[in-house]
Structure 1
Amino acid sequence: MRIALIGDHSEEVTAHRAIPVALDMEAAALGLEVSFAWLGTARLDDPSVLAEYDAGWVVPASPYADFDNALAAIRYLREADMPFLGTCGGYQHMLVEYARNVLGYPAAGITEIDPTCGMPLVSALTCALVEVSEPVLPEPGGLVARLCGEAQQDESYRCSFGLNPKYAGIFDGSGLRVAARDRDGAVRAMALEGRRFFLGTAFRPERAALVGRRHPVVAAFVAAAAA
């Protein structure tokens, strides 16, 4: 089982230390071996190299070295129906990729990367979620609810940007659906239904591994890769 970790690796990033631990835990639970490769965005000019892998995880710690290459990688995974997980920055880029290439909003962007973008789809949160845990409410019937149950759960964050509520409605009626919200109704996860696995979360499920706990989101992603 080979998993591509798309992003710009740094041992200083907590998530980058947690993800290999989380993957090893899930591989052990399945009785399989897993290998992974860090694919830096600056060198990912040809997304077709992802065909060599069984799944792709677009990891936290953005802005990435190459914004366009990150979007192209997500598009490749989506169009090839490969298992995809995007956490924090990966989630933000997933939203932009879908808005641009499926919904037809080429000006969609992330204000952290382009403060003057024509459509600030991902913008600064009113209250930054840096090194905090907050309750998440899975959307009834959505992917997070199917994986984790519909009860409220606490999740870890380290982000200052998220889906701009002004534009949340553009996804209504599309395949990319809300999978979880916070207590105030802000979107915290979205999933592309009808795929083997395609999920983006503002929270960071990989961090559970650092306290020896498996997270259902990571477990489902690895199971999809194994399948």
Structure 2
Amino acid sequence: LDAILVPGGFGKRGTEGKMAAIRYARENGVPYLGICLGMQLAVIEFARNVVHLEGANSTEFDPSTPHPVVALITEWQDREGQIERRDQASDLGGTMRKGAQRCPVKEGTNAHAIYGAEVYERHRHRYEVNNAYVPRLEEGGMVISARTPTEQLPEIMELPGHPWFMGVQFHPEFTSTPRDGHPLFTSFITAALKHQELRRRQVSA
């Protein structure tokens, strides 16, 4: 394998298999990019197998999980600054974060090397990484390299000890074209080519 990408999606089907692939990428230095659901699954896999939170999951897949490291946002702030309560029974569009949004990027991270000081990307999702678990994830070695400026929701995660391992909550494919490829994909493909060359050298050695 030169690289592994897990894209966005909804529903429980296939998630355990995807997390097995993510674990393989994490443990074997294979470049990994997780988009939306792919980021959430990377966080769940890390929580289970690195931080040792047994049964960690998303409330989308297991509403009774003992460790909801990914969950539905229940409090949203409207344009007037008022807090509105929403839940799983709410209108789907009402609980979905959509559209282009900006957020600052942490210096010294792979995300900063790719994006610079700010991310401006499009979103379409209902579930988020649960901020209550971020300190434990960070203690395990995960870096949250971008957060929303108001709610402080994790937008990008990465593993600094890995050759190239990133998850993004947004959808970079929405703004990538054949003539003008997105810098995140360019960096990911470059990492895949480097990994491919490394494997070739190891085989021929």
TM-score, shorter chain, exceeding 0.5: yes
Preserved contact between residue 50 and residue 140 of structure 2 (Cα < 8 Å): no
CA positional deviation for 1:190: 0.5
Give 1:106-145 correspondences, 5 Å limit.
106-125=54-73, 126-127=75-76, 128-145=95-112
CA distance in 1, matches of 2:12, 2:181: 27
Moved over 3 A (4+): 126-131, 210-213
TM-score normalized with structure 1 length? 0.72
1:83 aligns with 2:49: no
Give 1:158-177 correspondences, 5 Å limit.
158-177=124-143
- Contiguous gaps of at least 5 residues in structure 1: 1-52
Preserved contact between residue 131 and residue 158 of structure 1 (Cα < 8 Å): yes
1:180 aligns with 2:154: no
Q: Which residue of 2 aligns with 1:219?
A: 186
CA distance in 1, matches of 2:103, 2:96: 13
Deviations 1:30-53 (A, max 9, x none): xxxxxxxxxxxxxxxxxxxxxxx2
**Corresponding residue SS for 1:172:** helix
Q: 1:159 to 1:211 in 2, by over 3 A?
A: farther
Could you say what the CA RMSD is over the residues aligned between the two structures, in angstroms?
A: 1.6
The structure 1 residue matched to 2:48, chosen from 100, 109, 117, is: 100
Which shows bigger deviation, 77-86 or 211-220? 211-220
CA distance in 1, matches of 2:97, 2:153: 16
TM-score normalized with structure 2 length? 0.79
The aligned length equals: 174
The structure 2 residue matched to 1:156, chosen from 122, 130, 137, is: 122
